[in-house]
Structure 1
Amino acid sequence: MKNKSVVVIGTGFGGLATAIRLRAMGCNVTVVEARDQPGGRAGVFKRDGYTFDAGPTVITAPHLFDELFELVGKERSDYFELMPVTPFYRVSFPDGSSFDYVGDEEELIAQIREFNPPDVEGYKRLADHARRIFETGYEELVDQPFDQLSEMLRVVPEMIKLRNHRSVYDLVASYIEDPRLRQVFTFQPLLVGGNPFNVTSIYLLIHWLERKWGVHFAKGGTTAIVGGMMKLLEDIGVDVRLSSPVDQIEVRGGRAQAVYIEHEGEIERIACDFVVSNADPSVVYTNLIDPAHRRRNTDKRVARVKQSMGLFVGYFGTDRNYSEIEHHTIVLGERYRELLDDIFEKKILADDFSLYLHRPTASDPSLAPEGHDSFYVLSPVPNNESGIDWEAEGEAYFERILAHLEERHMPGLREHITTNFFVTPDYFQGELSSRSGAGFGPEPRLTQSAWFRYHNASEDISGLYFVGAGTHPGAGVPGVLNSAKVVERLVLEREKGANGPGSASKKETMANRLTRKIGAIIP
């Protein structure tokens, strides 16, 4: 692989991780990024002395970062620091009760007993089920390619045995009676763009993943991780070009040959042996590749992909500390299933909401001026297929959220706010080039997971690979980091002897034909 040149599109965690892995393999790597800062969704806003992470704030499976640095003989701790967070989340209910979701089993069970004693035994069985799902869905499958139908069919019996055809909520409800506890153990798919009433119960593995490795936060914010990975790329000789949006992926003879970028008003062609995209596959296929090269991922098929929900994220700083607020707080509303139905299915902006409140200064006071607190509050909302005019609705919606937080959790909040702003699905669609302003790419329901999700190796174009939230295994930091491992495997398998189209085997070509036929039936 030492003579191979590759262009990686995008500097989200998936793109950065892939660039490190490919460089460790000996490739000459060029990374191009449309924005003037790296990180993709994991960007940063700095306002009035406050540091606000723009995207992911929950770090699990920290060993995935350690692996990347070890691949090139470095220590992750020399580049950024990870701190454990406990409780993982405080879940707050409308009736005033709360549940601290922690890793310690005894403490967890003691709280369950206070809520509903019969659910103690139910939870133990649920946790064991989550462990078995984790051992199959994560330890065995998460970093394996699912580009061939045979790979999907191979695991179907085990998925049925683990009841993965049921939704997360249905499976949890079969073990837990208390409606509040059902919410405690089913909200996690929302952190990767899934409706717990629709998403496959394989995502119950998140519960055991958190139990196994804990929840962490990076000192300096998630942006410190991005900065550390960028410094590593510099140290190992990877060329990163910011403010360089991709205009086109050149395809000749069925193979990706080059990437055209726009930089300082000029169009530049970067020739390469293959391309890895960390951008939204829906956008890449429809905007960057000529339809003549897309037999399967046509505009019509892309339009059928069900995108995840949108996100409204409000940022604010206060001139006092709210020490009673934990690092991660889930603020649940009166409605659960009905609200999610409004967001995912009806695509209407409801009067009520459930929120994720993030207070990073609980772990790292340096993210705000001395004596101040930094916050962001996230509300799941419909994506832009809803037609909501956020220019007209945004200010009022943010005000309702702040009033709600002030009434229930943060007395006098609005008197103490020193700076505030918000982003809507328009930011995700315009600034981050996400189809329909979706927060997490395609919704991770069963028919859009594993083989049914966008493939890590394009079925249409050889030499084109995908990492990130839009492809297998899906959204969330562990998901996108593992997608880089999947692409590493595929590149080793397909690129060593690839000098142009026709390098794929006859067996692979036949499998791709079968894939296209089934894809025409199941979107």
Structure 2
Amino acid sequence: MGKNIAIIGSGFSSLAAASYLSKAGNTVTIYEKNNTVGGRARQLKKDGFTFDIGPTWYWMPDVFERFYNDFGKDPSDYYDLIKLSPAYSVYFGEGDFITIEDTLEKISAAFEAEEPGSSLKLKKFMDAAQDNYNIAIKDLVYRPGVSPLELVTPVTMKKVGQFFSTISKQVRKEFNNPRLVSILEFPVLFLGAKPSNTPAFYSFMNYADFGLGTFHPVDGMYSVIKGMKALAEELGVTIKTNQNVEKINVSDKTATSIIVNSEEIKADIILSGADYHHTETLLDVPHRQYSESYWEKKTFAPSSLLFYVGFDKKLKNVEHHTLFFDVDFEAHAREIYDTPAWPENPLFYASFPSKTDKNAAPEGKEAGIFLIPLAPGLEDTSALREKYFSIIMNRFEKLTNQEVKNYVIFKESFCINDFIEDYNSYKGNAYGLANTLLQTAFLRPKLKSKKVKNLFFTGQLSVPGPGVPPSLISGKLVAGLIEKK
């Protein structure tokens, strides 16, 4: 007999879990505090421009395919994908950049042009990365993090050394050129930690990057959310917005109901895709699994200062995705992870979806999204936001050799205070809990509460980790645990 399941939040993991649970015959209702679905993957529309507020990278298309295939569907039933060609470019100085194309063959040629002999090293590195991808993404990440034995297989035992080495060491063992090192270390930044703290096994992210490529869903990443919402509703899920969950009630060590906008709603199972730390604050203290000191000691992925900018002209010398690595990466990383502070010389990333998608901006204009990674928990003021907008616009003009500041029609910003206000995000983090060695798999916060029966969690602070594809997987994993009850 099906259960009555209440889900808190409507991000990727919640929508995925809702679909699996509804397909299994349960009555599923999602309660979303904001006025639109999507969690952090919302959308901003202004003056004919459209921006993804949250994720802008579509990697690991096979994970999305596997999700939709579980329901007899394909991603193309809900949205259209464009493979980016080139995938992105990386600036190292004025007019000095390396372009990452859409095939490994072309990328190898770019490496060879940068450092003779590096294409052979890249092939060796990518063969190992693909092997890790096949182990991790096709198998390991679909395990629920219940036991350390999940990681023990004949294949992983051969790879055990990679869990105790780092991406940084692995890359530097093969490559000396600092520009190529930066490019090869870039993908693991999606995992939320420094390359020097990320296990070498995570080189599978390099295969996701160079081997599978980078895609753009037409109308932006929000079209993926709309597709998942449509699928969930087809399966019978009820989605309610403007529903602020204020408390989780527990009786006899069992979750029994939630208080939503001051009204009690009973449920057989409560699943939260909201911020894990915040969700536990909805419980009385004796029912919380993790103390404040536990969260304080964890390594969190960065927060971000984001700008959504409408430009009154088309921009040149940039790709859809463009990275600006013209300053000291290590110095900025220290200001995120070691001695948290606003960065003196920030690296930044920019996305110009209107380079690919005519729907992103009016004709003759450009939509720009700029992101500076920051330590969570920093002071966030309008004056600081203005200061850093000026810093990156000055650098952007100089590096790309064009005037842009006088062509800004508008800009909107989003930073630490907004992550806290809109998503109840712990210290305003943007990407969840970093995937360091001691925060991998069974060492992450659990999908199933250890203290309260019928209470479950999903999303980027739980298993398997940060990022959009892992969030889809997290939803599937927690749905499986609920069904096994």
- TM interval, short-chain normalised: over 0.9
- Match of 2:297? 304
Q: Could you tell me how far apart the structure 1 residues matched to 2:73 and 2:150 are?
A: 34
Q: Could you tell me how far apart the structure 1 residues matched to 2:210 and 2:3 are?
A: 40
- Match of 2:372? 379
Secondary structure at the aligned position of 1:164 is classed as: helix
Return 5+ residue gaps in structure 2 as ranges. none
- Match of 1:190? 189
Among candidates 398, 417, 436, match of residue 427 of structure 2: 436
- Match of 1:291? 285
Q: Say if 2:347 is the partner of 1:348.
A: no
- Match of 1:398? 389
Question: 1:392-416: CA deviations, max 9, x gaps?
Answer: 3111111111111112115110111
Q: CA deviation at 1:82?
A: 1.6
Q: Could you tell me how far apart the structure 2 residues matched to 1:331 and 1:419 are?
A: 22
Q: Could you tell me how far apart the structure 2 residues matched to 1:64 and 1:181 are?
A: 28
CA 1:318 to 1:491, structure 2 compared with 1: closer, same or farther past 3 Å? same
Q: Could you tell me how far apart the structure 2 residues matched to 1:297 and 1:410 are?
A: 50
Q: CA deviation at 1:121?
A: 2.5
Secondary structure at the aligned position of 2:338 is classed as: helix
Amino acid at match of 2:252: G
- Match of 2:83? 84
Contact (CA 8 Å) 2:91, 2:399: kept in 1 or not? no
- Match of 2:413? 422
Higher relative contact order (CA 8 A, sep 6+): 2
- Match of 1:324? 317
Amino acid at match of 2:319: E
- Match of 2:240? 241
Amino acid at match of 1:364: D
Q: TM-score, with normalisation over the residues of structure 1? A: 0.88
- Match of 2:119? 120
Q: Could you tell me how far apart the structure 2 residues matched to 1:389 and 1:315 are?
A: 17
Paired residues in the alignment total 485
CA 1:229 to 1:138, structure 2 compared with 1: closer, same or farther past 3 Å? closer
Q: CA deviation at 1:207?
A: 1.2
Contact (CA 8 Å) 1:333, 1:352: kept in 2 or not? no
- Match of 2:329? 336
Compare 343-352 and 458-467 and name the one that shifted more. 458-467
Among candidates 431, 446, 455, match of residue 455 of structure 1: 446
Question: 1:450-478: CA deviations, max 9, x gaps?
Answer: 11111112222222222211111111111
- Match of 1:513? none
Secondary structure at the aligned position of 1:129 is classed as: helix
What are the residue-to-residue correspondences of 1:6-45 with 2, within 5 Å?
Answer: 6-45=5-44
Amino acid at match of 1:51: T
- Match of 2:265? 270
CA 1:292 to 1:440, structure 2 compared with 1: closer, same or farther past 3 Å? same
- Match of 1:46? 45
Question: 1:192-247: CA deviations, max 9, x gaps?
Answer: 32222212223211111234432111111111221222223333321111010111
Secondary structure at the aligned position of 1:174 is classed as: helix
Amino acid at match of 2:138: E
CA 1:129 to 1:95, structure 2 compared with 1: closer, same or farther past 3 Å? farther
Amino acid at match of 2:324: V
Q: CA deviation at 1:271?
A: 1.4
CA 1:304 to 1:69, structure 2 compared with 1: closer, same or farther past 3 Å? same
CA 1:157 to 1:481, structure 2 compared with 1: closer, same or farther past 3 Å? closer
Q: Could you tell me how far apart the structure 2 residues matched to 1:146 and 1:100 are?
A: 38
Q: Could you tell me how far apart the structure 2 residues matched to 1:409 and 1:403 are?
A: 10
Q: CA deviation at 1:88?
A: 1.8
Q: Could you tell me how far apart the structure 2 residues matched to 1:46 and 1:155 are?
A: 50
- Match of 1:282? 277
Secondary structure at the aligned position of 1:36 is classed as: coil
Amino acid at match of 1:60: W
CA 1:305 to 1:72, structure 2 compared with 1: closer, same or farther past 3 Å? same
Contact (CA 8 Å) 1:358, 1:375: kept in 2 or not? yes
Secondary structure at the aligned position of 1:430 is classed as: helix
Secondary structure at the aligned position of 1:142 is classed as: helix
RMSD of equivalent CA atoms: 2.0
Q: Could you tell me how far apart the structure 2 residues matched to 1:95 and 1:337 are?
A: 20
Contact (CA 8 Å) 2:332, 2:344: kept in 1 or not? no
CA 1:367 to 1:410, structure 2 compared with 1: closer, same or farther past 3 Å? farther
- Match of 1:408? 399
Contact (CA 8 Å) 2:304, 2:371: kept in 1 or not? yes
Amino acid at match of 1:119: S
CA 1:59 to 1:491, structure 2 compared with 1: closer, same or farther past 3 Å? same
Q: Could you tell me how far apart the structure 1 residues matched to 2:272 and 2:41 are?
A: 16
Amino acid at match of 1:81: D
Compare 334-343 and 155-164 and name the one that shifted more. 155-164
Contact (CA 8 Å) 1:322, 1:410: kept in 2 or not? no
Q: Could you tell me how far apart the structure 2 residues matched to 1:250 and 1:268 are?
A: 12
Q: CA deviation at 1:130?
A: 1.0
Compare 396-405 and 162-171 and name the one that shifted more. 162-171
Contact (CA 8 Å) 1:64, 1:478: kept in 2 or not? yes
Question: 1:477-505: CA deviations, max 9, x gaps?
Answer: 11111111211321222x2xxxxxxxxxx
Q: CA deviation at 1:422?
A: 1.1
- Match of 1:364? 357
